[in-house]
Amino acid sequence: MWETFLHRFGYLAVFVGTFLEGETILVLSGFFASRRAAILKPAIIILVAFSGAFLGHVFWFWIGRTKGAHILHRHPNLERHMARALKLFEDHGPSAVFISQYLYGLRIVSAVMFGISHIKTRTFLLYQALSCLIWATLVTLLGFYFGRAVQKYLGQAAGIITIVVLGIVVFAYHKMKDRRQDAQPGASVDKQSEA
C-alpha cells in the first residue's frame, strides 16, 4: 500500500505518512532515493518528513490542549496509553517530548498528553522540532543506505519486500502487545505505578 502511494504521490506521500506515524513510508522513501534514477532526493525527503512529523505532533498537541478532557471522556480505552505517556513525562520532564518520537505507538498519544499537561507550548515546540529533525534524518538515511546495500546484494524487489515485511512484523508485534495488555486492564498501569 505505502509503496504504491509513494510511487504515485512522491513527497506528498512522505508528508502524509509522517504526519500520521510513519517509519515504514520513511524507510521506503529513503530506499527509493537510493536508486540510480531516483525521483526522490534524500535531502528533500528529510525536510518533508520533518515538516510532516512536526506539524502532526503540533496538531495533536493542540487537540490535547483544547479538547483533551473531552477526548479522554469519550475514549476511555486511551487511558492505558495515556498512563504510559504520563509516566514518561513524570520520569523525564520536557525531554520526554524528544524521547516519545522514538517510541512506536506512543507518538500521537504523547502529543495529546503533552497538550493536556502544563508544559509550556514554547518548550514543547522546541523539543519536538529537534526530535523530528533528528528522527527524519536518521530514518531516511537508514532507508537510503539499507537500499544501497540490498540492491547491491539482493536486488531492488527483495529490498522493497524486506522493508514491507519488517513494517508488518513491527505493526503486528505492537498490536499483539496491546491486545495482551487489554486482556489484563489493570496490569500495565499497576506495573508503571510500582516502577
Task: Find where cell 498501569 sits.
Answer: 189
Cα–chain-centroid distance for residue 13?
15
**What are the cell numbers at 187?**
496490569
Task: Give residues with Cβ within 8 angstroms of 139, minimum separation 6.
Answer: 23, 26, 27, 30, 49
Whether the predicted model's global pTM rises above the 0.85 cut: no
pLDDT tens per residue across all 195 residues of the chain: 555 666 678 889 889 888 987 777 787 788 777 766 567 888 999 999 999 999 999 999 999 888 877 776 676 666 666 667 777 777 777 788 888 887 776 788 888 888 888 788 999 999 999 999 999 999 999 888 877 777 666 665 666 666 666 666 655 655 565 566 555 554 444 444 443
Which run of H or E residues covers position 88?
A: helix 79-92
The DSSP symbol for 120 reads: -
**What are the cell numbers at 161?**
519486500
